[in-house]
Chain A
Amino acid sequence: MLDRLIGFLSSGENLVFFVFSLVAICGAIFMISLTRVVHMVMALALTFLSLGGIYITLGAEFVGWVQVLIYAGAITILMIFGIMMTRHRGEAETEPQRPWHNGLLLVGAIVLFGILFYVIQNATITPQSAPVDPKDNTLQIGQLLFNQYVIPFEIMSVLLTVAFIGAIVVAKREED
Chain B
Amino acid sequence: MEALRLQLSDLQHLIPELTLIVTALLAALLDLALPRKVSRSFSAWLTLLGIVVAICFTALELNPEEPIQLLAQSYRIDDFASLLKLVILVGTGLVVFMSLGSAARDDIHHVGEYYYLFLPAALGGMIMASSGDLITLYVGLELLSITSYVLVAMKKKSTESNEGAFKYIVLGGISSAIILYGMSFLYGISGSTNLLAINSALAGSIDDVKGLVYLAFFLLLAGFGFKIAAAPFHTWAPDVYQGAPTPVTAFLAVVSKGAGFAILFRVMYWVFGSLTLMGTDLQKDALLSLSVLAAISMIAGNAMALRQHNVKRLLAYSGIANAGYLLVPIATHFSLVHYANYSEFLFYLIAYLFMNIGAFAVLMIVQRSSGNEELRGFAGLYYRARGRPQRPCCSSFRWPASRSRRDFSESCSSSWARCRRNSIGSAR
Contacts and interface: CB of A to CB of B under 8 A. Distances in A.
A160 B205 CA distance: 38
Contact of B191 (A131, A150, A176): A131
A108 interface: no
Contact of A151 (B75, B143, B154): B75
Given A148-B71, A162-B147, A170 B211 contact: no
B149 A166 contact: yes
Contacts of B143: 155, 158-159, 162
Interface string A66-94: 00000000000000000000000000000
Interface in B152-177: 153-154, 156, 165
A170 B153 contact: yes
Interface secondary structure of B, over-half rule = helix
A148 B74 contact: yes
A152 B139 contact: yes
A125 B146 contact: no
A120 to B, nearest CB: 7
Interface string A120-145: 10111110100100000000000100
Contact of B208 (A126, A131, A150): A126
A169 B147 CA distance: 12
A122 B124 CA distance: 38
Contacts of A152: 74, 133, 135-136, 139
A104 interface: no
A147 B72 CA distance: 11
Interface residues of A, number: 33
B409 to A, nearest CB: 36
Nearest to B149: A166
B358 to A, nearest CB: 29
B373 interface: no
A174 B109 contact: yes
A100 B191 CA distance: 43
A172 B71 CA distance: 40
Most interface-central of A147, A148, A155 (chain B CB within 10 A): A155
Interface in B93-130: 109-110, 113, 117, 120, 123-124, 127
B26 interface: no
Interface of A: 115-116, 118-120, 122-126, 128, 131, 143, 147-152, 155-156, 158-159, 161-163, 165-166, 169-170, 172, 174, 176
